[in-house]
Amino acid sequence: MSAYLVACRYALLAVAKNRLAAVLLVVFIPLWITVAKTLTTPKTFPFRLRATGTWLRAGGDEITMISGSLNAVSLLVGFLMFSAARRTRAFDRRLTAAGYSRTALVGSKLTTLLAASVLVSAYATAWMLLFWSPLQPFLLGLAVLADCLVYGAMGMCLALFLPGEVEGLVTIIMVSIIDLAPQNPVASTTADKALVELLPSYGSLQTSLAAGFTRQITLSPLLTHSVVWLAVMTVTVLAAFVLRTRTHQPSGRPHDGT
């Protein structure tokens, strides 16, 4: 088995053992989606979809459900990847110093990020579809997947400098709240301000709203915002990994004993 496959298998096994993440997945995501859909008002709100400039009307419960599910998946994948990256920080260094391929290790981490994101986004999208029929379900799933990837990479970034799981979890919760609250067209009147475009979930929320309430295939927010966030954070993580796993080889040449 190649170095990549061995690293991947063990990375996925270890991530699957994260009990808190499993509880968040099984309980928190359905709970958030159910609460958002059943307890918030179904009254429709007019709002301008910033990505396309079109005016839409949608139920407050559906908008809140979209925003809530993005909130839930971002916390979950962000925490999961933070936890995995923090746990293996010193171990990766030892493993690469022993000769393990850094490319294989990096590949296994990116595979774990992708696998966790696909699983969580498919699960959350399936729960939303139980309550609601968006006009473009596949595009909705893609938008949720993009948010998972962005927050997963953010979790890996935070693990570069935050020492413990509590610090990581609290930071991810705060970032996710600050990210999503000002963008929600129901909860906030600032949702149409230009600055919201800089927020990490902007691409996902805009695409989700377009997927829910239009028949227009709107990929530009994902491509111009989510992909940029993902790329910047992934490159940061990779650069830090390369720097941290450097070893200083002694200039070893045989000596004849005297």
Partner 1 sequence: MVVLRVTAVHKGFGSRQVLRGVSFEARAGQLVGIVGENGAGKTTLLRILSGDLRPDDGHVDLVGARGYCPQYPVLDEELTVRQHLRLFQVAYRLPSPDRALRLIGTLSAAGYLDAPVKVLSGGTRQKLNLVLALMHDPDVVLLDEPYQGFDWETYLRFWDLARELKDRGRTVIIVSHLAHDTERLDVLHHLRDGTLAPPPAAGTA
Using the rule CB under 8 A, which residue among 45, 100, 123, 132 binds partner 1? 100
Q: Does 90 bind partner 1 (CB under 8 A)?
A: yes
Mask for 132-151, x = binds partner 1 (CB under 8 A): --------------------
Q: Does 102 bind partner 1 (CB under 8 A)?
A: no
Mask for 7-26, x = binds partner 1 (CB under 8 A): x--x--xx--x---------
Number of neighbouring beta carbons within 10 Å of residue 193: 12
Mask for 39-78, x = binds partner 1 (CB under 8 A): ----------------------------------------
Nearest to 120 by CA among 86, 91, 155: 155
Q: How far is the CB of 24 from partner 1 (least distance, A)?
A: 17
Residue 209 and residue 55: Cα distance in Å, rounded? 11
Distances (CA, A) of 189 to 47, 50, 65, 85: 10, 13, 18, 37
Q: How many residues does the chain have?
A: 258
The pair of structure tokens assigned to 228 is 């940029």
Q: Which stretch binds partner 1 (CB under 8 A): 94-102, 109-117, 130-138, 204-212?
A: 94-102
With CB under 8 A as the rule, give the number of residues binding partner 1.
31
Q: How far is the CB of 248 from partner 1 (least distance, A)?
A: 4
- Smaller CB distance to partner 1: residue 18 or 206? 18
153, 200 contact by CB (below 8 A): no
Contacts with partner 1, residue ranges (CB under 8 A): 3, 6-7, 10, 13-14, 17, 87-88, 90-91, 93-100, 247-258
